Amino acid sequence: MMKRGRILADAKDDIAIIESVQDDWRVLQPAMAGKALDTLKAEIEGLKADGLVKVREYEKLELEFGSLKKGVAGVTVQFLDNSEIVRLETGQSVVVSRAERKKFYIGLAKVEGRWKIISLLTGIKEDKKNEH
C-alpha cells in the first residue's frame, strides 16, 4: 500500500512539472525519462522552432493506480485541459483548449530514487454506453 501511495504522489508531482514547462524541455528531467521525455522534448522543440510555446493548464486532475508489474507502474490520468499555444514574441493565442477532457495512461519506473514517467499512452476513449 505504501508503494502505491508513493507512486501516485510522484505521478502527481510529475504532472505538475509537465504543466509548468513551456519552452525549456530540461525542466522535465526530474519528472520524465526515456521515450516519454523524448516525445515531449520533440513537441516543445518543434513548437519553439515555429516561434510558439504551449502554456499548459490542467484542472480537476484525477489519478487512478492501475498496476505494478516488473518495476513499471501504470496510472490512469484524467483532467480538464485549459492549455493554449501562444506566439513567443507576442503572447497571442493561436490554439486554445477550453475544458477539454483528456485521459492518458502513463507508465512510471523508479529512476534516480523516485517514480518518473517513462511512457505516455494517449487517445484513450471514454466509455460512452450511457450517452444518447
Question: Does 77 map to a domain?
Answer: yes
User: Can you give the CATH number for the domain in which 36 is found?
Assistant: 3.10.450.240
Q: What is the pLDDT of residue 123?
A: 62
Entry pTM: 0.85
Domain count, the chain: 1
Sheet strands side by side (includes 58-69): 58-69, 72-81, 100-111, 114-121
Q: Report if residue 131 sits inside a domain.
A: no
Q: Which residue has the cell 495512461?
A: 105
Residue 59 domain-assigned (yes or no): yes
Q: Block means of pLDDT (10 residues each) for the chain, length 132 residues?
A: 87 96 94 95 96 94 95 95 93 85 94 94 54 36
Give a yes or no: residue 126 inside a domain. no
113 occurs within a structural domain: yes
Q: Residue 72 belongs to what domain range?
A: 2-121
Q: Is residue 10 part of a domain?
A: yes
**CA-CA distance, 85 to 52, in Å (whole number)?**
7
114 contact partners, CB below 8 Å, separation of at least 6: 10, 30
